[in-house]
Amino acid sequence: MCGIVGYIGNKNCVPILLEGLKRLEYRGYDSAGIGIINETDCKVVKTKGKVADLEKLLYNENIYANLGIGHTRWATHGEPSIENAHPHMNNDKTLFIIHNGIIENYASLKKGLLNEGYKFVSETDTEVLAHLIDHYLKLKNNLFQAVRYALNEVEGTYGIAVIYKNEPDKIVVARKGSPLVIGVGKNENFVASDVNALITYTSQVVYLEDGEIAEVYKDHFHAKNIHDEEIIKEIHEVDLSVDEITKGGYPHYMLKEIMEQPESIYNSMRGRLVYEDGISKLGGLQGYEERIANSDRIIISACGTSWHAGLVGEYMLEQYAGIPVEVEYASEFRYRKPVINSNDTIIFISQSGETADTLASLREAKKKGALCLGICNVVGSSIARESDAGVYIHAGPEIGVASTKAFTSQLVVLSLITLLLARRKSLNLLEGQEIIKEMQSLPSKVERILKQNKYIKEIADKYADCRNFLYLGRGYHFPVALEGALKLKEISYIHAEGYPAAEMKHGPIALIDENMPVVFLAIKDSVYEKVLSNIQEVKARKGRILAIVNEEDNHIDKMVDHVIRVPKTIDMLQPILSVIPLQLLAYHIAVKKGLNVDQPRNLAKSVTVE
Ligand code: G6P
């Protein structure tokens, strides 16, 4: 997804912008560019390709400037090309703009601008903004006001940064539906779509809210709303080290993040378990516990991997807290007319806290008066800020596009919420303490699984040539089957489907022959015997079977081709362990195929457009 970075100060902006763009690469992009303004020149350099290609171009140009903006673009309007890459500019080539988001009424705006004589060189919606701001500059002769007037005409979403040759002392930034932060330095300031881009330079940040516009100078900034009213913005201290967002010796972020799970899982529950009372303590839900426990219904809204976490949450909450739960794709939830009552609680799960569909579904739900809770990883993200209450998962920055440690931490937080509510219902002290003990043993059990990394790689090598996969599981392991299949297709581009194992006989069984690998989640839980029958059905049709089984289970070995063992825990927590071999399997298959695991094609880490 697109990334924004900008600098104003006394240093050369070029290396700073490149460094920031590199930190945003993980979001996924297809072209990159920067625009600079100095005393003698204003210039844009763009490439269809990687930031490293842009760096080579800039090296040859030998540019020095104290003001500049940079962008990584992920195509929405118009194919990836140099013309469509950002920054875009006015016809005089004096105003540069970078933009994340989508201008929905760009066609009608473009028509008006064409009539005025503006010439377009790209197919993007962003170029419309460049000309529209230029149009108002001619009327107002003031960049901030021109941006404000232009944005008043825009429908859609944006995070923008604009610089202008005639006002070279500032960057104007604005936000609606696409994140934008200001990094506050000493005699220098930064702007970015993500704090990761700034962290090398400053830990002091200001989060713009929707509808806010700011003028950022080298030694101060000020913000207004779209109606030109002054706004006082608070400066926040972010607690991320550069080390936390680098690969730490691993070949890929994804592997680093898989390997971090003993720690990230521990961090998600640290200080939140009260063994004596057999309960969890969640500061972010304080004061809301009774209301949540007495909800008529809980709805979970999310996308992608977070949606899979929501499905596991449904099983947990219904089993232990006895509250009816529905899990919704945020993209569906926001556009259909869901029946939402004021006595419903809606949980929005999002690693980034910025996913456009999830954020929009939160805003819809808030209008209906339901209690809205966020489960997010990124502190200060939009969903975290706009929810009534919530719980951070504290997994640390997740950079790999395929979500891994955020998923297991989301499950930990859903277990904590389940425990909190269940103890207000029928769960007794001893049962609560049993769950806590099992939760506390998770990090060391995860370590035992990760020790099998080499063995899992050997298995992955044997399956890397397959073109299709089926993942089957029942009960708590149906969502895990979905997540295993998603991991594989995301990074290895192998077609994979997850199914509830019993559904196999209603269609997918037709696909099974000796070329079809089937990954079974065959865990010793309440549906174990049923899964064994499903394994027999696949075996009878000569399918290749890889089974995820419990450590002490030797029964399945002779029925299947390969087994990977995971420690046993209670059913509710078992997905946290059984998903890990599936993450490693997908990772090693993709690496064996020579693919770019951290930046899979066509995917973005944070999908901030529809
Ligand atoms: C993208 C990512 C997925 C992620 C999904 C939801 O598609 O590639 O890994 O699960 O967005 O993201 P969120 O940040 O809302 O959890």
Q: What is the pLDDT of residues 112-126, one digit of tens each?
A: 999 999 999 999 999
Say if residue 399's pLDDT is above 90. no
Q: Which among 355, 409, 489 is the best mutation to test ligand 1's pocket, defined by most ligand atoms within 8 Å of the CB?
A: 355
The pLDDT of residue 591: 96
Average pLDDT over residues 592-598: 91
Distance from the CA of 496 to the center of ligand 1, in angstroms? 18
CB within 6 Å of ligand 1 — which residues?
Answer: 303-306, 350-352, 355, 358, 401-403, 603, 605-607
Q: Determine which residue's CA is closest to atom 15 belonging to ligand 1.
A: 350
pLDDT tens for each residue of 437-460: 999 999 999 999 999 999 999 999
The pLDDT of residue 1: 62
Give Cβ neighbours of residue 93 (< 8 Å, ≥ 6 apart): 42, 44
Q: Which among 306, 377, 408, 583 is the best mutation to test ligand 1's pocket, defined by most ligand atoms within 8 Å of the CB?
A: 306
Average pLDDT over residues 26-54: 90
Distance from the CA of 351 to the center of ligand 1, in angstroms? 7
3-state SS class at 227: coil
Q: Where are the alpha helices (DSSP H) in 123-244?
A: 126-140, 143-152
Average pLDDT over residues 53-69: 93
Q: 212-216 and 230-231 as β-strands: parallel, antiparallel, unpaired?
A: unpaired
Q: Determine which residue's CA is closest to atom 3 belonging to ligand 1.
A: 304
- How would residue 243 be classed by pLDDT, with cut points 50, 70 and 90? low
**Among 2, 13, 42, 372, the one annotated catalytic:** 2
Give yes or no: 368 in active site: no
Average pLDDT over residues 311-336: 94
Distance from the CA of 589 to the center of ligand 1, in angstroms? 21
Average pLDDT over residues 309-331: 96
Can you tell me which atom of ligand 1 is nearest the CA of 352? 14
Distance from the CA of 304 to the center of ligand 1, in angstroms? 5
pLDDT tens for each residue of 92-112: 999 999 999 888 899 999 999
Can you tell me which atom of ligand 1 is nearest the CA of 302? 15
The pLDDT of residue 601: 80
Least confident of 130-144, 186-200, 571-585: 186-200
Say if residue 27's pLDDT is above 70. no
Say if residue 383's pLDDT is above 80. yes
Mean pLDDT score across all residues of the chain: 93
- What is the C-alpha to C-alpha distance for residues 197 and 488, in angstroms, rounded to an integer? 29
In the chain, what's the furthest Cα-to-Cα distance? 80
- How would residue 515 be classed by pLDDT, with cut points 50, 70 and 90? confident
Per-residue tokens: 244: 């936390």
DSSP calls for 74-101: --SSS-SSTTTSSPEE-TTS-EEEEEES
Distance from the CA of 378 to the center of ligand 1, in angstroms? 12
The pLDDT of residue 595: 92
- What is the C-alpha to C-alpha distance for residues 376 and 390, in angstroms, rounded to an integer? 8
Asked if residues 127 and 118 have their Cβ atoms less than 8 Å apart, the reply is no
Give yes or no: 2 in active site: yes
Q: Which of 74, 69, 104 is nearest to 87 (CA)?
A: 69
Q: Where are the alpha helices (DSSP H) in 221-368?
A: 253-259, 261-269, 289-293, 304-316, 330-333, 356-367
Taking the model in full, what pTM does it have? 0.78
**Among 218, 405, 524, 605, the one annotated catalytic:** 605
